Amino acid sequence: MTKLCPTCNTPLLLNSPLEIHQSIVCSNCGLELEVVWLYPLELAKVVSYKEDSTKQKNDPGNLLQNSRPSSDLWEY
C-alpha cells in the first residue's frame, strides 16, 4: 500500500497492519501524518497548538490563564 506525502509527494513508508490514530512521518520533509481512516486509507496532517508566550497573563483573549482553578467550581 502506497500513499504520497501531501507536501513533497514522496512515497510514505507504511507498515502493515495500520491502525487508526497511528502516526506516520515523511522521511523526506518530516511532515507528521495520522491515519484517520483505513479503507480506503486516509491520512491527515497532525496539527499541534503551541502556547503563545508573548501574551500577557491578564489578556482576556487567553481564557485558560483567566479561568478559576477547577477546585473552585464546586464550592457552594
The domain tally of the chain equals 1
CATH code where residue 34 lies: 2.20.28.160
Full DSSP string of 38-49: TTTTEEEE----
| Domain presence at residue 64 | no
Residue 24 phi, psi dihedral angles, 5° rounding: -130, 135
| Domain presence at residue 35 | yes
**pTM (2 decimals)?**
0.58
Q: Which domain holds residue 12?
A: 1-48
pLDDT tens, per residue, the chain with 76 residues? 789 999 999 999 888 889 999 999 999 999 999 999 999 999 999 987 776 666 555 555 555 555 555 555 555 4
Buried b (16+ CB within 10 A) or exposed e, 26-49: beeeebebebeeeeeeebeeeeee
